[in-house]
Amino acid sequence: MSNDRPLNQMVTAQWLLGGESIYWVAGKGWSDSFAEGTVYADQPAADAALAEVQEFVKQRVVVGPYLIEVEVDSDGPKPTSARERIRAAHNATFDIDHGSWTARIAD
């Protein structure tokens, strides 16, 4: 099955300290703002950007960089997967203040 829409991708990772989601901004570095992330419209450019950020992994600044697919409209880039929408919104998938069964064990 052919997909006629252009493939747009962005590089994402997480800060090693803190674990926040971050996005690669070509020529500037990392940003915690999804909207600032550089969108690559072709695979060779996306692959080159992913290779470029590996230096930050070696320096132990970021972990787990990878490419994500994004859609681009007049409002800017949008993540295409539910996982990336959650990460871009910086929403936790659990309530840290809700407590857990481990708190009951510690008492």
More confident residue, 23 or 102: 23
For residue 32, give the 3-state DSSP assignment: coil
Decide if 3 is inside a domain: no
Compute φ and ψ for 8, nearest 5 degrees: -110, 135
Q: How many domains does the chain have?
A: 1
CA-to-CA distance for 46 and 66, rounded, in angstroms? 10
Decide if 1 is inside a domain: no
Decide if 67 is inside a domain: yes
Decide if 2 is inside a domain: no
- The model's pTM is 0.79
Decide if 29 is inside a domain: yes
pLDDT digits (tens, 9 = 90+) for 78-88: 999 988 988 88
Residue 63 structural domain: 8-106
